[in-house]
Amino acid sequence: MMMLYYIYDGTFEGLLTAIYDAYYERENPEQIVAMDDFIDNFLIQRRYIDTDKEKATKVHNGIINKISKEALTNIMYAYLSEHENAGRYILEYLRFGFKVGRLVDSYLSDDRVYNIHRLVTKINREKHLLLGIIRFRLLNNNIYYALIETQYNTACLLGEHFAARMADQIFVIHDIKRNYGVFYDKSKWFISDIDIEGNLDFHEKELFYQELWKKYFESVTIKDRLNPKLQANFMPKRYWKYLVEMK
pLDDT digits (tens, 9 = 90+) for 11-44: 999 999 999 999 999 999 999 999 999 988 888 9
pTM: 0.88
pLDDT at 201 over 80: yes
Percent of the chain at pLDDT > 90 equals 74
User: In three state form, how does the secondary structure of the chain look?
Assistant: CCEEEEEECCCHHHHHHHHHHHHHCCCCCCEEEEHHHCCCCCCEEEEECCCCHHHHHHHHHHHHHHCCHHHHHHHHHHHHCCCCCHHHHHHHHHHHHHHHHHHHHHCCCCHHHHHHHHHHHHHHHHHHHHHHHCCCEEECCCCEEEEECCCCCCHHHCHHHHHHHCCCCCEEEEECCCCEEEEECCCCEEEEECCCCCCCCECHHHHHHHHHHHHHHHHHCCHHHCCHHHHHHHCCHHHHHHCHHHC
